Amino acid sequence: MITDFPLDFASFKKTWRPNQCLALPRGFLSAETPDMESPVLAASVDQVRTAWLAVIASQPRTRSLREAGNQIEVVQTTALMRFPDTITMRTIDLGDGRTSVGVFSRSRFGIRDFGVNAARVRDWLQALQVALNTGL
């Protein structure tokens, strides 16, 4: 279980368990290969942070865990068994008014997650884009 916070997205290594998902922007230098690519957003770091907080607030069974610098970490419990999953987001300033995010979602218990973490990351990244486009 990875419990470091803030999480060093450039150097951390995922565990052997498949119940985790990492999204990073293309070209981000990392020791770990991402599972999916994060979008490039035409927004400032502050706008992305605010929109991410709106995404978190709209999610069921989710509570803020901690914040430090450019990272926000939350816990979302699973619907059926109430197992805690940890989601860490880091804003990445790309310059020229563009920002991306690193997102690492992982289950605390078990080995398999039946794609829940990957679906969550994909859904939250889409919700982030919608929140930015609608000005939330």
Query: For position 108, which CATH number holds?
Result: 3.30.530.20
pTM of the model: 0.94
Domain total in the chain: 1
Residue 38 lies in a domain: yes
Q: Is residue 120 part of a domain?
A: yes
Evaluate whether residue 82 is within a structural domain.
yes
In a domain, 8, yes or no: no
- Examine residue 54 and state whether it is found in any structural domain, yes or no: yes
Q: In the predicted model, is pLDDT for residue 78 greater than 90?
A: no
Q: Is the pLDDT of residue 77 over 70?
A: yes
Give the pLDDT confidence score for residue 1 in this predicted structure.
Answer: 60
Taking residues 74-96, report their average pLDDT: 93
**Host domain of residue 50:** 20-134
The conformational region for residue 70 under phi > 0 = left, psi -120 to 50 = alpha, else beta, is alpha
Is 7 among the domain residues? Answer: no
